[in-house]
Structure 1
Amino acid sequence: MIDGEKFLERPIRWAMIGGGRGSQIGYIHRSAALRDNNFQLVAGAFDIDPERGRDFGEKCYVAPDRCYTDYKEMFAAEAKREDGIEAVSIATPNFTHYEIAKAALEAGLHVYCEKPMCFFSNEAQELERLAKEKNRIMFLSYGYCGHQMIEQARRMVASGGLGPIRILNMQFAHGAHNVAVEKKSAATAWRVDPKKAGLSYVLGDVGTHMLYLQEAIVPQLKIRRLMCSAQSFVEGRALEDNAMSIMEYESGAIGYIWSSCVNAGSEFGARFRIVGEKASIAWDAEHPNQLQYEVQGSMQGAMQRGAGYLYAEARADDRIGGGHPEGLFEAWSNLYTKFARAINKNEKGEPIDFWYPDVHAGAEGVKWVEKCVESAKNEGAWVTY
């Protein structure tokens, strides 16, 4: 169980880029990072409007002289301080991620980056190279993998209890943008603008979350080829708002990912079912404390977060014991704790003996989107992965 005891000599000096007033994700980043006292928010470039960003930073107890105009000014100034920042979180629109992450790694900082990490595979390869060259941790914000039952699912697959995996049926299909909400919402407008969102909308925005859950739970599966059908149902959208991707794996397994923002009536719609030869498991992000476990020929049931029958590695992510509901804030806190542990081991020169969404996971997400878009543009033709 995580009980907040320190494992670092002192909190890691941490900054944020973006995530200021009105941000959809800024607060959860700060809440998750600060919850276990592993990080201390000491600086930031919180807003594209410097004055608004400075006002926001000061109200988050950041010293006025460390509330910066932009990330370039922050990196240069903090590098001159004995107590300068050691890690940074990037919570800005997609089109800025690559240049900021590259600059952060070049400045010798550990990086926690919103996805997508970048738009193109050559950029992803450059970030992978830099992270290795600079010996820095780069962490991708795949927040759902921090839920305890994802660790349980991973252990169940690894144990062989499901048998060989045959089918992965995954979706992240909400209905929040079933009409042109971007005409009134700036937070949505950039997501459907190719200059700011990249090659895709829903494939990169929601589909990659499910791709990474597949990678985390069934890491042995490697994609051999894929095909994708994508649509823009809302008139005027330059990027897809619905897509179905089918993956064939080298093992012979098959996977499906439905990515959508036009699933009218669905508030969220993130869930998966993993089918093995002997049994299946299923999980729904709106009910994250349960994992359905269904053995062929036996009674179906739901495994509960915090229960004594879970694998020890899953119970290690407990924060409030069994019976109480945990949610996304706990999941993100678990990931920021992993970020801190990875930084700690990195600084000590120790091997990192646990999984987390690293720079390579970010690169895989970029590659998957590229391949899906390539297939969709060729009328859903199979594309070698």
Structure 2
Amino acid sequence: MLNGEKKIVKPLRWGMVGGGRLSQVGYKHRTGALRDHTAFQLVAGAFDIDPERGRDFGVNIGVDADRCYPDYKTMFAEEALREDGVEVVSIATPNGTHYEICKAALEAGLHVICEKPLFFTSQEGEEIKTLAEEQGKIVGVTYGFSGNQMLLQMRAMIEQGKIGDIRVVELQYTHGFNSNDKSDKTSDAQKWRVDPKVAGPSFVLGDLSTHTYYMSQLIMPHMKIKKLLCDRQSFIGTRAPLEDNAFVLMQYENGAVGRLWTSSINAGCMDGHRIRIVGSKASLEWWDSKGGELKFEVQGEPAQTLIRAMPYLDESCNADERLGALHVEGLSEAWANIYLKFAIAIDAKKRNDKETLKHLVYPDIDAGIEGIRWIENCVRSADNGSVWVEFQNKKALLV
């Protein structure tokens, strides 16, 4: 159980790029990083494309005015001159800016925590991975839902053979908040998400399904996709060529099959984020709306509901539990869990603690690159007439 005691010697000096007053994700980053005040200390930021608004915001959340910078380049340069300068930076900006900011941060000697999807291409991902290795730095990706500890319970039960051989994977992340085009015109945060120059080659595949795809990989680390077929639609025509709805069929190397539905036009749906894994003996199902519960259904036996923080759960699951049974946890705690693991990873990297890094489960640079490959393969299938395609690995995609 986590209770706020320090996991590293002293908090990391942390800065943010983006995540200001108008950001949809900035508060999630700060809630996650600062929940364990022993892990991160927010000391600087370039919070907004509008320097004055960014400075005003930074001061209002407790950052010294002289460390609220007009842009990330100024922040990196000025902080490098300070003995107490930032050690790690979070990037909470639109997709199209991630690569250049991440590269600049690594070249400035900083560890990086970045929003998803990381970059536009897996080649960019491989370049950043090489740079991070050369610099001896960590790059983490904020797949925030993945910090829900019941996903680790699913992982443990599958590893222990509790559900048998995996046969079917059912993934869904849908909502209805973009079922019309109003937000495309009125919300700055939505406008860029449907602009290919800023968002990249996809909308909901990158914005939503990369979360769910990574979570499935966390749960089933040995399950690799062999082929997939993606059919994507732009029900709001002005969003084309970016999709607001997509279906993906998958064939795994072990013979299992899967399907994923991702959508922002599922009208009336408030939370359609679900994962169901069907095995030869039993099934597991998790739903974000009831993130502290896990359905365990053994064929021929009464269905069970496993509850967060109970002693019958696996040690790996309960190690990330924070509030105790009967007290509801949610997305804030999930973000706090991954940010704490980012801190542990950064600390281990600084100490060259390879053993800790080897066993730490968190969304790292490889997870980010895999998310990009997921998008690339889905787009390739859809744009070639929604055909089955071999799931290309990094070597194939770089040719």
- TM class by shorter chain equals over 0.9
Give distance in 2, aligned partners of 1:207 and 1:6: 33
> How far apart are 1:7 and its partner, in Å?
2.6
Counterpart in the other structure of 1:372: 378
> How far apart are 1:340 and its partner, in Å?
0.7
Q: Does 1:195 align with 2:197?
A: yes
Counterpart in the other structure of 1:21: 21
2:91 is matched by which residue type in structure 1? I
Q: Does 1:34 align with 2:34?
A: yes
Deviations 1:141-200 (A, max 9, x none): 101110110111111111111111111100101111011020222221111110111000
Q: Which moved more, 1:346-355 or 1:301-310?
A: 346-355
> How far apart are 1:267 and its partner, in Å?
0.9
Give distance in 1, aligned partners of 2:274 and 2:107: 37
Tell me the secondary structure at the aligned position of residue 286 of structure 1. helix
Counterpart in the other structure of 1:136: 137
> How far apart are 1:346 and its partner, in Å?
0.9
Q: Does 1:293 align with 2:296?
A: yes
Tell me the secondary structure at the aligned position of residue 5 of structure 2. coil
Q: How does 1:1-385 map to 2 (within 5 A)?
A: 1-37=1-37, 38-181=39-182, 182-238=184-240, 239-351=242-354, 352=357, 353-385=359-391
> Structure 2 unaligned runs (5+)?
392-399
Counterpart in the other structure of 2:396: none
Aligned length: 385
Tell me the secondary structure at the aligned position of residue 16 of structure 1. strand
2:35 is matched by which residue type in structure 1? R
1:204 is matched by which residue type in structure 2? G
> How far apart are 1:205 and its partner, in Å?
0.5
Give distance in 1, aligned partners of 2:333 and 2:70: 31
> How far apart are 1:19 and its partner, in Å?
0.6
2:2 is matched by which residue type in structure 1? I
Give distance in 1, aligned partners of 2:171 and 2:362: 20
Give distance in 1, aligned partners of 2:311 and 2:147: 19
Give distance in 1, aligned partners of 2:315 and 2:263: 35
> How far apart are 1:279 and its partner, in Å?
0.5
Give distance in 1, aligned partners of 2:201 and 2:317: 36
Give distance in 1, aligned partners of 2:268 and 2:7: 45
Q: Which runs of 4+ in 1 moved over 6 A?
A: none
- Please give the TM-score of this superposition, normalised by the length of structure 2: 0.95
Give distance in 2, aligned partners of 1:9 and 1:261: 43
Deviations 1:31-60 (A, max 9, x none): 111111111101000000000101111111
> How far apart are 1:253 and its partner, in Å?
1.0
1:122 is matched by which residue type in structure 2? Q
Deviations 1:253-293 (A, max 9, x none): 11211111111111121111000111000011111010000
> How far apart are 1:62 and its partner, in Å?
1.0
Between the aligned residues of both structures, percent identity stands at: 54
Give distance in 1, aligned partners of 2:170 and 2:106: 36
Give distance in 2, aligned partners of 1:106 and 1:250: 38
Give distance in 1, aligned partners of 2:375 and 2:191: 20
> How far apart are 1:235 and its partner, in Å?
2.4
> How far apart are 1:9 and its partner, in Å?
2.2
- Please give the TM-score of this superposition, normalised by the length of structure 1: 0.99
RMSD (Å), alpha carbons: 0.9
1:217 is matched by which residue type in structure 2? I
Give distance in 2, aligned partners of 1:85 and 1:222: 38
> Structure 1 unaligned runs (5+)?
none
1:287 is matched by which residue type in structure 2? K
